[in-house]
Structure 1
Amino acid sequence: MAHTISRRQLIAASGAGAGLLAAGAVGALAVEARSETAGTASPGPHDAVPFYGEHQAGIVTPAQDRLHFVAFDVITDDRAKLVEMLRDWTLAAARMTAGLDAGALGAVGGPAQAPPQDTGEALGLPPSQLTLTFGVGGSLFRDAKGRDRFGIAARRPAALEDLPHFPGDALRPEISGGDLCVQACAQDPQVAVHAVRNLARIGMGVVSVRYSQLGFGRTSSTSTAQATPRNLMGFKDGTANLKAEETDQVRDHLWAAAADGSDWMAGGTYLVTRKIRMTIETWDRTSLAEQEAIFGRDKGEGAPLSGGKEFDEPDFAKVGDDGEPLIADVAHVRLAHPTSNGGARLLRRGYNFVDGSDGLGRLDAGLFFMSYQRDPHKQFVPVQRNLARHDILNEYIRHVSSGLFAIPPGVRDAADYWGAGLFG
């Protein structure tokens, strides 16, 4: 059973005479091992999601409503400092996902003349199903000059090789890539922002924020208990997504194994991020019939245009009275379907974003796409290549950022830390 611990309780405990909470106490307070099928039962909106387990939380965990994603550049060449920071990050993450402050002395419990051990904006808020998911980018293994800064270049997995350029990409380097990443998901945006802010504070002098992205209104379901949400184009998104309850599919398509060639990644996975800007105003002037033809699904039910209900398999061979396929050859659902991509499946976990408007008064809005997979070059790449070459939806979207990260297995207990298998 997950424990809900208020920050008010922590402040009382860490005040006069209470002293520091040891790392082991965090395990006793908030952490239970999660099984491989964790995520099949959704906690309440204020509950804590267990931090420790075989796999990191925030992957098959039922997708929360809010996102704060951040990519970091490592600004030190000192391996010991980096490892120390990762240990500090892990302890802080375990505390914050349990509803505690980032540090034992908290936002107001420490010496008045010293900076607080927590930024304080989440005081009084519950855990809100916060999950923190950590990853490493290819640039951590060898920098742009080819240097092996941390003695780990030989341990870079083949699956982490750079993604190819896709037709139509308009990538901005300053919001792409990154040495490290953290995905914070929660039901309360302030809880997610608080978590990222504190990790950046703890990492000062070791890492700097390369870019970050806020997201809302999850655009995928990662559990069969969740209804399919809608993207900003108004269509249900992720109907055919890999679900946590599909244990055989999850094993085969999501989790890396030692047999894949990198022992330290066994039980981990790989994350692809793509920031996709939508030309909302042009889309809104497009007829309903054309919108549905582009997606290959009806806008209301989300059913394939070949007939049936939302979760019925599309019949790509079915034709209309004119002899043409009811689902066009360039329809999104056809091009993204596993049968068009050698059986490749992804676990999508994207979010809508609105970053204000541009100088012409158009919404800077779209989808922050995130997908988890066992090998992005065998799963994401063929799907995206197919879409980039043929998808008529490309007339209304533009890919402006891209990232690829290795997501290590879960943290076993309070003595373990993020990335221990890589640096240990």
Structure 2
Amino acid sequence: MDRRKMLGLAGAGAIGAAAAGVAGATLIDGATHPAQAADAGAAIPFYGEHQAGIVTPAQDRLHFVAFDVITDKKAELVELLEKWTHAAARMTQGRDAGSIGAVNGAPEAAPDDTGEALGLPPSGLTLTIGFGPTLFRTADGKDRFGIADRRPAALADLPRFAKDALKPEISGGDICIQACAHDPQVAVHAVRNLARIGFGVVSVRWTQLGFGRTSSTSRGQVTARNLFGFKDGTANLKAEDTQLLKDQLWVQPGDGAEWMTGGSYVVTRKIRMLIETWDRTSLGEQEAIIGRNKGEGAPLGGKGEFDEPQFAAKGADGQPLIAADAHVRLAHPDANEGARLLRRGYNFVDGSDGLGRLDAGLFFIAYQRDPRRQFVPVQTRLARQDSLNEYIRHVSSGLFACPPGIRAADDYWGRALFA
């Protein structure tokens, strides 16, 4: 038995007991995943047709990191991707990042694992990688690795949206890695070790910690709430929506850039919520802005959370029950030519801003087949018309191409791109 798994049995049992009452498993893309958190300490398969961490039922914690590649040598980058893949395969199964481990090496040498996850179970850890536009060609036009002609058309730079207040230092990046787990220490351990392994080849550009998932990615999960107190992601794509996932999530043959077939594109947006202003807003106005009631999460005029919004319905005053600038109306697929996203967002609280106001909000993560036809038109509409804009600020943005899954132990992240 693996040393860490043996040490972690007691912890896994405790976590499993805490999740009692949630049972069963779901067969997703040929691999069995926990339907919700039947065993929050369990391991998620690393190998498969698609990368884990996309349709995987959303875990409770996030550590997202964006790297800049600081070498111009393709061989060094490929070697790092090979090392990262090997370490990721180990860590997602509850093992040390390297074969020597945190405590078994020579005393005079640095260990090949940092050790803070010793004794902890895998905790549903998933690691998902993506490649940003600047990996293919830098902002000054340099093709460092001879892959500029392999940049997918769907990885087009995002436009500047109305009311954007983006900070360049926490936006973009050559490579991203999304670490999700039920234990924050497990997620942080994974990112810390990948950064350690990448020393001299990549540098950390920015990171984001998240807690309290704000979207459900499986029908076995209840809808979560964001920091405004509203249920978020009611109409999200779900892992069980096989045909919708094919149409809206996974890159298909013929989409261009064949190395991306079976992959997906992820958009990240750090959205600061003006918490104090929102908290002084009346309940009725909050519900009108969102277009749903705050308790059940039902669309205004409906009874249940999953009732379809009736956009033509009017109140006694003759006005639409769901306002023209309500968030739910503007984001609905009917208003966006059927475009849908698979969201995996998380709440964040990064302390205060120095003026006694919470630096808090939503770290938005959305996977899709083609951002040009999905995220961009939806966000364009929201940025121009959404009444929620009075209470939020978009301060960070990222776009990355996430390749398909790893099929075997001799494969590595991005092999089809660099081959």
TM-score normalised by the shorter chain: which range applies? Answer: over 0.9
**Structure 2: which 5+ residue stretches go unaligned?**
9-26
* Shift of residue 108, structure 1, vs aligned partner: 0.1
Flag the 1:105–1:127 CA change in 2: closer, same or farther, 3 A. same
What residue is the counterpart of 1:7 in the other structure?
A: 4
How many residue pairs are counted as aligned between the two chains? 400
Residues 104-142 of structure 1, C-alpha deviations (whole Å, 9 max, x = no match): 110001111000010000000000000000000000000
- Which of 24, 29, 32 does residue 35 from structure 1 map onto? 29
What residue is the counterpart of 1:385 in the other structure?
A: 380
Inter-partner Cα distance in structure 2 for 1:83 and 1:126: 30
What residue is the counterpart of 2:211 in the other structure?
A: 216
Inter-partner Cα distance in structure 2 for 1:407 and 1:69: 14
1:346 aligns with 2:338: no
Residues 295-345 of structure 1, C-alpha deviations (whole Å, 9 max, x = no match): 000000000002120001000000000000000000000000000001000
Tell me the C-alpha RMSD between the 2 structures.
1.5
SS in 1 for 2:75: helix
1:255-266 equivalence runs, <5 A: 255-266=250-261
1:310-329 equivalence runs, <5 A: 310-329=305-324
SS in 2 for 1:401: strand
Conserved? CA contact 1:304–1:312, under 8 Å? yes
Inter-partner Cα distance in structure 2 for 1:74 and 1:402: 18
**Which runs of at least 4 in structure 1 moved beyond 4 Å after TM superposition?**
8-11, 36-40
Q: Which amino acid aligns with 2:411?
A: D
SS in 1 for 2:254: helix
* Shift of residue 34, structure 1, vs aligned partner: 7.0
1:65 aligns with 2:75: no
Q: Which amino acid aligns with 2:194?
A: L
What residue is the counterpart of 1:112 in the other structure?
A: 107
What residue is the counterpart of 1:16 in the other structure?
A: none
1:50 aligns with 2:45: yes
* Shift of residue 359, structure 1, vs aligned partner: 1.3
Conserved? CA contact 1:178–1:210, under 8 Å? yes
SS in 2 for 1:91: helix
Inter-partner Cα distance in structure 2 for 1:288 and 1:34: 39
What residue is the counterpart of 1:121 in the other structure?
A: 116
* Shift of residue 38, structure 1, vs aligned partner: 5.5
1:267-282 equivalence runs, <5 A: 267-282=262-277
SS in 1 for 2:44: coil
* Shift of residue 144, structure 1, vs aligned partner: 1.4
Residues 233-268 of structure 1, C-alpha deviations (whole Å, 9 max, x = no match): 000000000000010001110000121011100000
Conserved? CA contact 1:218–1:229, under 8 Å? yes
Inter-partner Cα distance in structure 1 for 2:149 and 2:201: 23
1:413 aligns with 2:413: no
Residues 42-65 of structure 1, C-alpha deviations (whole Å, 9 max, x = no match): 451010000000000000000000
1:237 aligns with 2:236: no
Conserved? CA contact 1:130–1:192, under 8 Å? yes
Inter-partner Cα distance in structure 2 for 1:165 and 1:341: 19
Q: Could you tell me the percent identity over the aligned residues?
A: 73
Conserved? CA contact 2:100–2:112, under 8 Å? yes
Inter-partner Cα distance in structure 2 for 1:263 and 1:385: 28
Inter-partner Cα distance in structure 2 for 1:329 and 1:208: 45
Conserved? CA contact 1:137–1:179, under 8 Å? yes
SS in 2 for 1:259: coil
Conserved? CA contact 2:35–2:221, under 8 Å? no
1:300 aligns with 2:295: yes
SS in 2 for 1:299: coil
What residue is the counterpart of 1:184 in the other structure?
A: 179
Q: Which amino acid aligns with 1:233?
A: F
Conserved? CA contact 1:5–1:98, under 8 Å? no
**Structure 1: which 5+ residue stretches go unaligned?**
12-32
Inter-partner Cα distance in structure 1 for 2:135 and 2:302: 48
What residue is the counterpart of 1:398 in the other structure?
A: 393
Inter-partner Cα distance in structure 1 for 2:57 and 2:349: 23
Conserved? CA contact 2:49–2:407, under 8 Å? yes
Scaled by the length of structure 2, the TM-score of the pair is 0.93
Q: Which amino acid aligns with 1:176?
A: S
Inter-partner Cα distance in structure 1 for 2:142 and 2:345: 33
Conserved? CA contact 1:7–1:100, under 8 Å? yes
Inter-partner Cα distance in structure 2 for 1:38 and 1:332: 35
Inter-partner Cα distance in structure 1 for 2:411 and 2:133: 23
Scaled by the length of structure 1, the TM-score of the pair is 0.92
Conserved? CA contact 1:138–1:160, under 8 Å? yes
* Shift of residue 6, structure 1, vs aligned partner: 4.9
1:368 aligns with 2:372: no
Inter-partner Cα distance in structure 1 for 2:392 and 2:35: 35
Inter-partner Cα distance in structure 2 for 1:249 and 1:296: 25
Conserved? CA contact 1:36–1:55, under 8 Å? no
Conserved? CA contact 1:336–1:387, under 8 Å? yes
